[in-house]
């Protein structure tokens, strides 16, 4: 018989399920986290749970927050289980479950962010952490710069008292703390964006520039935005995972998290108002975050993008199945070794080829059940961050971009919304309404897709890239994905 997850039933869970060793009543909130999704609960919340289990820093518990409809659904799922989460680590052939209790509250979600602003007036909250996805930072994907014309930013600049964006909420709370003489909190981005702390700072300060130059100066001079690199493959939760948890472990959790065993967190140690001692539970604090970050974004996230679109076009659903396909795996290996890794700068203490081999093993884990549709979503935000920077760097030094251009052509072909069997599928991208027509037009006129300058930026101006892209796209439409990958592996494209 399965047990409903909550504090009252913790002692009734099967002995194999790890649970908090600390008393929840002893925890005090120190971090407000915006964007309580699967990744956050498999990553930051697990590290904090480890720290609390060691009896340390109990004044750094989490308060959840959010302003989207998805945040409301998460709050509704977690509230009846006292904010507890079951995390299942998917070691092949030996899955392990634990219940984490690092979250102690979740700010009620209204039509705007006023409740979060009010919560952040508590001086005990010294860090605001973020997992709001790559597309949540109001930046121009073509330039990487803050976009002051984003509709939510335009609204918040005129109505900061009722903010719609995360950055409007943060700025309103910082302004209130400044005006009341309270120390500012630190903003810690945990999203997969190059220099994520700097990007977050420019979003908050960029909004302030539209309102009050003195407030913008305060943000840039007095508020800390440490950079970080985060890593753990964490698939979406479906009824399949809920059923598996109940069957294997006897737990009824409204929104459990299933994830790979591996996790990594590298952070710049810049926390003027204090921080938990996360180095004691495996977090790396270093001034060299940028090197780790670039390595991960190019090799891991770029690798995900490389396999997502050929696998999607071939009708492959799971990531580990894509890694079992000789052509998809061969494409990834060749691309990484010949074009991506050579333009990744050295990382202290890391052999990049060994790092890639670790990544390939992680992608191949059959128990994770990560899906190709998850990797393929939001390409208009992910391509400019994970693929095109490598392309740009290769072009600058006159390097070959055959494989990288093929990745972009595969994405274009995928954006047409038809797989190689002619079966339609839904394009999960905020820009789908303009991507799909451009992709279809590119079948006969490749520049129709490359002219999306907000995505491709100056890469689209390179004659070498345009030629490679056009040739790859023509082959994909004419011969199909398998034949095109085979030609690439044979050195014929």
What local confidence, expressed as pLDDT, does residue 319 receive? 97
Cα distances from 227 to residues 170, 189, 458, in angstroms, run: 17, 7, 26
Question: Could you report the average pLDDT of every consecutive run of 10 residues in the chain (493 residues)?
Answer: 91 95 96 97 98 98 92 96 98 93 96 94 98 87 82 96 96 98 98 92 97 97 97 94 96 97 97 98 96 95 97 97 98 98 94 97 94 95 94 97 98 98 95 97 97 94 97 98 97 78
Give the number of other Cβ atoms within 10 Å of residue 418's Cβ. Answer: 15
Using CA atoms of 64, 279, 230, 149 in order, give the dihedral in degrees to the nearest 10.
Answer: 60
Alpha-carbon span 13 to 19, nearest angstrom: 9
Q: 111: which residues sit within 8 A by CB, 6+ positions away?
A: none
Structure tokens at 342: 């050579």
What local confidence, expressed as pLDDT, does residue 492 receive? 78
Cα distances from 99 to residues 87, 95, 260, 276, in angstroms, run: 6, 14, 16, 20
Pairing of strands 228-231, 264-267: antiparallel
Cα distances from 137 to residues 213, 375, 415, 437, in angstroms, run: 21, 19, 23, 26
Q: Model-level pTM greater than 0.85?
A: yes
Short-list 168, 85, 196, 173, CA closest to 126: 173
Residue labelled with tokens 């950055």:
167
What local confidence, expressed as pLDDT, does residue 193 receive? 86
What local confidence, expressed as pLDDT, does residue 256 receive? 98
- Paired with 7 in beta bridges are none
What local confidence, expressed as pLDDT, does residue 142 receive? 61
């Amino acid at each position: 018989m399965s047990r409903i997850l909550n504090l009252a039933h913790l002692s009734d869970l099967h002995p194999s399920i790890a649970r908090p060793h600390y008393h929840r009543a002893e925890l005090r909130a120190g971090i407000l986290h915006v964007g309580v999704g699967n990744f956050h609960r498999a990553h930051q919340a697990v590290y904090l749970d480890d720290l609390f289990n060691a009896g340390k820093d109990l004044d750094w518990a989490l308060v959840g927050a959010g302003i989207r409809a998805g945040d409301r659904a998460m709050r509704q799922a977690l509230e009846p289980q006292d904010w507890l989460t079951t995390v299942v680590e998917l070691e092949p052939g030996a899955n392990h479950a634990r219940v984490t209790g690092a979250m102690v509250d979740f700010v009620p979600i209204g039509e705007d962010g006023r409740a979060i602003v009010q919560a952040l007036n508590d001086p005990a909250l010294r860090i605001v952490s973020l997992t709001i996805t790559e597309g949540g930072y109001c930046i121009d994907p073509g330039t990487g710069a803050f976009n002051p014309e984003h509709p939510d930013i335009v609204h918040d600049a005129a109505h900061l008292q009722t903010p719609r964006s995360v950055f409007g909420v943060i700025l309103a709370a910082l302004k209130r703390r400044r005006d009341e003489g309270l120390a500012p909190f630190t903003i810690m981005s945990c999203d997969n964006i190059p220099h994520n702390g700097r990007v977050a700072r420019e979003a908050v300060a960029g909004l302030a520039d539209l309102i009050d130059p003195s407030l913008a100066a305060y943000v840039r001079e007095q508020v800390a935005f440490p950079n970080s690199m985060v890593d753990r493959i964490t698939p979406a939760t479906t009824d399949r995972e809920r059923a598996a948890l109940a069957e294997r472990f006897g737990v009824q959790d409204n929104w459990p998290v299933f994830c790979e065993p591996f996790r990594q967190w590298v952070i710049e140690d810049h926390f003027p108002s204090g921080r938990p001692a996360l180095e004691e539970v495996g977090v790396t604090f270093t001034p060299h975050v940028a090197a780790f970050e670039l390595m991960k974004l190019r090799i891991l996230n770029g690798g995900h993008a490389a396999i997502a679109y050929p696998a999607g076009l071939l009708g492959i659903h799971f990531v580990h199945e894509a890694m079992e396909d000789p052509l998809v795996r061969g494409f990834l290996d060749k691309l990484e070794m010949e074009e991506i890794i050579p333009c990744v700068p050295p990382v202290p203490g890391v052999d990049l080829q060994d790092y890639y081999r670790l990544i390939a093993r992680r992608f191949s884990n059959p128990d994770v059940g990560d899906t190709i549709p998850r990797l393929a979503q939001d390409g208009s935000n992910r391509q400019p961050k994970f693929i095109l920077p490598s392309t740009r760097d290769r072009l600058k030094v006159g390097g070959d971009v055959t494989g990288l251009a093929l990745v972009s052509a595969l994405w274009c072909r995928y954006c047409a919304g038809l797989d190689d069997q002619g079966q339609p599928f839904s394009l999960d991208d905020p820009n789908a309404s303009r991507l799909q027509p451009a992709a279809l037009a590119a079948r006969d006129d490749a520049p129709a897709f490359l002219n999306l300058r907000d995505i491709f930026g100056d890469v689209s101006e390179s004659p070498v890239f345009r030629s490679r892209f056009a040739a790859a796209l023509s082959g994909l439409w004419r011969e199909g994905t398998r034949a095109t990958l085979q030609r690439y592996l044979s050195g014929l494209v």
